[in-house]
Chains A and B, each alone.
Chain A
Amino acid sequence: MAGLKRRPGRYESWGLSLLGLGLFLGVWQVLAVGMTAGPQVLPAPLAVIETTRHLLVAPFAGHTLLGHLAASLQRFGLGFGLAALVGVPLGLAMGRFGWLDDLVTPLFEALRFVAPLAWVPFAVLWFGTGIGGPVMVIFAGAFPPCLVNAYRGARQVEARLVEAAQTLGAGPLRIIVEVLLPGALPAIVAGLRVAAGLAWQSLIGAELIVAGAGLGFVMVQAQSSLSPQIVMAAMAAVGLVGMLIDIALRRAEWAIRRQWDQLA
């Protein structure tokens, strides 16, 4: 089909992209300036940039934007790290031992459909609103992909290799660490990337509901003081940091995959 194959030239494509971006920002600006409701409803893009710069130096809701970002990143790191530290070894072990698989899978399947955010009430009841509660919610979001990918990765490791290691007298722990872990590494890193996305998302959700600092907290505070330009500044920060995390893990995934392909 001609329509599918005919590509616009490089310049045309760049031009259209710029036009699209310009249209998007332009319509936004016109809507913001033209609407009678004014900045209380839709702040202009320039106003959002101005607010972001202001928030970098002036504290809002207790900290500057960077202070809130640090609080968010700390929770994210704890929750995500914990999920990886528990989920990956458990997934590998489930891939190795059938009885563990039979034991954990029904429980896991039952819990999988509970949205991570639905854990918020229990998380707060058990661990409070400071660090513990949000960290548990992040854990609930990031744990399933860690476990599932480690499990799938371990199952895909050739049985031949495991048997060879067994014949040479390796114990179960050594098989998991030296055969299954390296074999499943590409799958694990792919799972970690998905988990990081979900963890970041759950973090924002948890901070919207319970927290005293962090980017989600900034949004809720700004929402109740009806300042959408601060909400948007925080949204931009959330989007940017989430994107950076994703890019970093994508790089790692790519590098590992390339190395593994070379070895294979």
Chain B
Amino acid sequence: MLVVLGLWWTLTSGCGLIDPNRFPDPAETWAALQQILTPGYAGGTLVQQAWASTRLVLLGFAVAVTTGVPLGALMGLSRRAESLLNPAFLLLRPIPPLAWIPLAVVWLGLGDGAKILVIWIAAFVPCVINTWTGVRGADLTLVAAARVHGADPVRVLLEVILPGALPMIFTGLRLSLQACWTTLVAAELVGTLYGLGRVLDSAYRDVNPAMILVAMVTVGLLGAATTRLIAALERGLTPWQV
């Protein structure tokens, strides 16, 4: 950590090896951080901008989980549903989520709706696929045992199949969360009024590398924090896993 800071200072302000218009030195970055924390930048303080972005990620992610996991479970349980739904899914899957941004903007404008749509698309596919794989991999002996003991299908689903699929589902959630952040940043760079993408865009237009760096670090920290959150949730919900 100290080595990196020292190296950073030496390369930028110490011997002026790197042009300050290309990469900021530590003092400038500190000043930029101060600036965005108290007066704000690009229409809001850091906390407001970060919250605007995090809120969209969480909303889109929540919508994707509530739609993707049931659909994946349905496709895992019923081969008929799989045959029926798979073609449309296969057709849409190769299109990268980012490629939906222009269409989302045409449909829903530059507000929150378009972003939530794009984030939903980004997170939906991994949710469906992993739930589907997890449910399909259910231990048939356990399922049969539960049936023999008189459990009805709903109980079998809720108490045997879903817990068995949970680790797989969580892998999907982690993958999709990362995709959510990438997609959100792209969507906000294409056009938005608030959020970290907006900060990045304004800083780029003002040729303010220090502010770019602050925004990038914030995006990275938020991505890491939400991933930690998912990991904690996974440990809480699947205590039998070590």
Contacts and interface: CB of A to CB of B under 8 A. Distances in A.
A260 B223 CA distance: 37
Contacts of A216: 99
B189 A117 contact: yes
A3 B184 CA distance: 40
B101 A238 contact: no
Contacts of A59: none
Given A114-B220, A232-B103, A120 B189 contact: yes
Interface residues of B, number: 61
Contact of B88 (A6, A24, A223): A24
Contacts of A243: 94
Contacts of B5: none
A38 interface: no
A159 to B, nearest CB: 26
A177 interface: no
B138 A4 contact: yes
Interface string A121-149: 11011100000000000000000000000
Nearest to B135: A4
A17 B182 contact: no
B143 A1 contact: yes
Interface residues of A, number: 60
Contacts, number: 165
A119 B182 CA distance: 11
A166 interface: no
Interface stretch (B36-44, B72-80, B126-134, B230-238): B72-80
Interface stretch (B60-68, B162-170, B198-206): B198-206
A113 interface: yes
A106 B7 CA distance: 15
B94 A240 contact: yes
A124 B204 contact: yes
Interface in B130-180: 138, 140, 143-144, 147, 153, 156, 178
A204 B98 contact: yes
A115 B209 contact: no
A77 interface: no
A76 interface: no
Contacts of B106: 41, 223, 226, 228, 231
Given A118-B219, A208-B186, A238-B96, A231 B102 contact: yes
Contact of B103 (A19, A204, A235, A242): A235
Contacts of A5: 140
Interface string A3-17: 111111000111011
B17 interface: no
20 contacts: A1-B140, A4-B143, A6-B79, A8-B79, A14-B83, A17-B87, A106-B1, A113-B227, A117-B182, A118-B216, A120-B189, A122-B212, A124-B204, A125-B22, A204-B98, A219-B99, A228-B107, A231-B103, A235-B100, A238-B96
Interface of B: 1, 4, 21-23, 77-80, 83-88, 91-92, 94-103, 105-107, 138, 140, 143-144, 147, 153, 156, 178, 181-182, 184-186, 189-190, 200-201, 203-204, 207, 209, 212, 215-217, 219-221, 223-224, 227
Given A23-B84, A113-B219, A223-B106, 12 more contacts: A1-B140, A1-B156, A12-B80, A14-B83, A16-B83, A41-B106, A106-B1, A114-B223, A204-B99, A209-B190, A226-B106, A239-B92
